Amino acid sequence: MSGMTPPPAGGAPTSARGPGGSIYDLGYQAYIGPRLGRRSAVTALFSQTIRSSFGIGRGGRAKIAPFTLAALAILPAVLAVGFAALAAQAGGSALGDASPIRYATYHSFVSIFIMLFCAAQAPELFGRDQRYGVLPLYFSRVLTRTDYASAKVGGLIAALFLVEVSPYVVLFVGRVLVAPDPITGLSSELPQVPRFVLQAALVAGLLGGLASLIAAWTPRRAYATAAIIAVFIIPPIIVALVGGLTNQDLARAIILFSPGDVLDGTNSAIFGSIPNSPIVASLDLPGWLYVGAAVVEIAAAVGLTIRRYLRIAA
């Protein structure tokens, strides 16, 4: 059967000789094309992870959750821009700081969807290969374990970043267009770009890093989903209880381990706004502390996820 297959593209010589003689005369089935090696494999896994975070390449049903959550995350921004455009047409002011949907407040609209996105997709991205025994196939190729883990974590974080940053981009474009003239619009909106990019990166990094860590340790999908939701939802409640009932010092110590509160803190530090959560506001920690905590925790979560893959049996 394979005797009838044409030689590989490029007029492959049937006598490609390796250094050792005729055993490397691979014949017509030989692959003589390029071998791009490790870096190419890592890049391919990274982009495949981003795509499968959105369910692309995994059938129709796999796309429902990620695309719904992404749409819900963008929806408030679209509405805000729409109302602003209507208001501008009616002669009112453009969407000003009076609008409840601003860069500074958007985190509170979007964060719940990012959390749900993590809870829905991370177990799939990290659990599948463990559940179905695919890891030995990866590790017996050019990728190292560190490469595999980094590409996976990086892919999830990149996907989350896309979901997180796109409503800000919608807001930005909308505000520039709705402004009386584009030049003033740009000059007033551009300073906000690095802010929302930074906040989006911190959110994607911290939530994606933690979700990866949990999912990598918990191959069972249902447990991983529950654990991810718990890690995002429960700590802010504990912090609020401790802060409200007992002492603020203890709350100050533990709030940095509550990812939801840390990101609320970074948001208010970055945009110079009042924190969304009352407990973050009342504890009144310096903003850089939240940003620092977020950076350290992202590094720790990514590092521990890689460590998990260095030790996993395969």
Partner 1 sequence: MTLIALQNLTKRYPRGVTALDGLTLDLEPGIIGLVGANGAGKSTLIKILLGLLPPTSGDASVMDLDVRSKGTTIRQFVGYMPEYDCLPPDTSATDFVTHMARMSGLPSTSARERTAEVLRHVGLYEERYRAMGGYSTGMKQRVKLAQALVHGPRLLLLDEPTNGLDPAGRDEMLALVRRTGTEFGIAVIVASHLLGEIERVCDFLVAIDAGRLLRAAPLGAFTERTGVLAVEVEEGETQLADALTARGLQAVADGRTVLLAVSEDAQYDIVRDTVADLALRLVRLEQRRQSLEDLFRDNVPATPAAPAAVGSPPASGPSGGDMPA
Please report, as ranges, the residues that interact with partner 1 according to CB under 8 A.
1-2, 5, 8-9, 18-27, 29-38, 40-41, 44-45, 48, 57-59, 62, 128-129, 132-134, 136-144, 314
Phi, psi angles (nearest 5°) of residue 21: 115, -155
CA angle at residue 232 from 130 to 312, to 5 degrees?
20
Q: Please say which residue, 8 or 182, places its beta carbon nearer to partner 1.
A: 8
Phi–psi pair at 18, nearest 5 degrees: -85, -175
Please identify, using beta-carbon distances, which residue of 6 and 191 lies nearer to partner 1. Answer: 6
Q: What is the nearest approach in angstroms of partner 1 to the Cβ of residue 51?
A: 11
* Residue partners of 129: CB distance under 8 A and separation at least 6: 135, 138
Quick count: other Cβ atoms within 10 Å of Cβ 154? 18
Closest C-alpha among 151, 142, 140, 126 to residue 43: 151
Collapse the DSSP code of 21 into the 3-class scheme (helix H, G, I; strand E, B; otherwise coil) and give the result: strand
In whole angstroms, the minimum distance from the beta carbon of 92 to partner 1 comes to 51
Of 123 and 209, the one with the shorter C-beta distance to partner 1 is: 123
Q: How far is the CB of 90 from partner 1 (least distance, A)?
A: 51
Between 45 and 80, name the residue whose CB sits nearer to partner 1: 45
Output 136 or 278, the one with its CB closest to partner 1.
136
Tell me the closest approach of the beta carbon of residue 130 to partner 1, in angstroms.
11
Nearer to partner 1, 304 or 314 (CB): 314
Q: For residue 144, with 0-12 CB atoms within 10 Å meaning exposed, 13-18 middle and 19 or more buried, which class applies?
A: middle
Q: Which is nearer to partner 1, 137 or 237 (CB)?
A: 137
Indicate the SS3 state at residue 274. Answer: coil
CB of 155 to partner 1, least distance (A): 13
Find the shortest distance in angstroms from Cβ 8 to partner 1. 7
Of 18 and 82, nearer to partner 1 (C-beta) is 18
Residue of 57, 49, 4 whose CA lies nearest to 29: 4
Instruction: Convert 121-169 into a string of H (helix), E (strand) and C (coil).
Output: HHHHHHHHHHHCCCHHHHHCCCCCHHHHHHHHHHHHHHHHHHHHHHHHH
CB of 303 to partner 1, least distance (A): 22
Contacts of 252 (CB under 8 A, 6+ apart): 283, 285
Which CB, 43 or 184, lies closer to partner 1?
A: 43
Closest CB 271 distance from partner 1, rounded Å: 41
Q: Which two tokens stand for residue 307?
A: 């460590």
Strand ranges, E, within 156-305: none
Diameter over CA atoms, the chain? 83
In angstroms, give the least distance from the CB of 209 to partner 1: 23
Task: Give CA 191 to chain center in angstroms.
Answer: 24
Chain-centre distance for alpha carbon 199: 12
